[in-house]
Amino acid sequence: MKKYALVTGGSRGIGKAICLRLAEMGCHILINYRSNTEAAEETLAQIENHGGQAYLLPFDASDGQAADMAVTDWQTAHPDDYISILVNNAGIRQDNMMVFMQDAQWHEVLDTTLNGFFYITRRLLKDMLTRRWGRIINIASLSGIKGLPGQTNYSAAKASLIGASKALAQEVATRKVTVNVIAPGFIETDMLKGLDEARLKPMIPAGRFGKPEEVAALAGFLASEQAAYITGEVISINGGLYT
C-alpha cells in the first residue's frame, strides 16, 4: 500500500530535506506551505526529477479551518488512501525580550507551532488509529528544552509541543501509532538568519552547525517500520551543545 506523508512547512529548510528523504523511501509526499509557492514548486520538482511523487497542499498551519478544508479535499480525491505519516514542522520565530514582546509576537509563534500541531494532528489521527498504523514526528527545538533568551514565545511553543507529544504517544501506542519529537539545535537554514555564527560555533562541541539532511535522516528512521518500538521520545540533534 502506498504511504502518504504530509510535511508542514515543507517547502524550505528542514521541512524540504524531510520531504526529499521520505520521497527517497518511497513515500508520496504532500508538501504543505503557507505562501512561498516558488520554493514549494522547486521542492516538488526535485522529488519528481528523482522519480518520486508529490503534491502541493497550501494552507496556513495556524488556521484550523483552512487545514481541515485542504485535507478534506485531498481525502475526497483519494478515497482509498490515508495520510499515515505526519511531520509537524511548520514554525516561525519572532524573537524579542519578553519585556518588549508584543501580543502578536507571542500569539503568532504559538499559533503556528502549537495550534498547528493540534489542528492537523487531530484531523489525521482518526485514520491512523482506524488503520492501525501511523507515524507522527514533531519538530521542536533546543529552545524548547533549554530555553533561550529572547525566545520566550518560541521556547514556550516548542516546550508545549514536547509535552503534548509525550501525552499523545501514550494515548495511541496500542494502535501502532508512534509520536516522537526531534529537537534540532543550530541547523543551516533560513531560521538562522540574523544570528552571530562566529560567536555561536565555538559554543558547539562539534564545531559546526548541523545540516537539514542530518535532521531528515532521523525523521526518515522514525517514520520507518524499524522505529515501531520508539515512541514518546525527544531526540536532540545539536552537535553536543546541550545534553
Would you please indicate which residues are annotated as catalytic (active-site) residues?
Answer: 154
Give, in order, the Cα–Cα distances in Å from 210 to each of 22, 115, 217.
19, 27, 12
CA distance 20 to 51: 11
What sign does the dihedral 37-161-142-84 (CA atoms) show? Answer: negative
Q: Which residues are CB-neighbours of 65 under 8 A, at least 6 positions away?
A: none
CA distance 180 to 53: 25
Give, in order, the Cα–Cα distances in Å from 13 to each of 71, 90, 210.
23, 11, 12
Cell of 127: 485514520
CA distance 129 to 131: 6
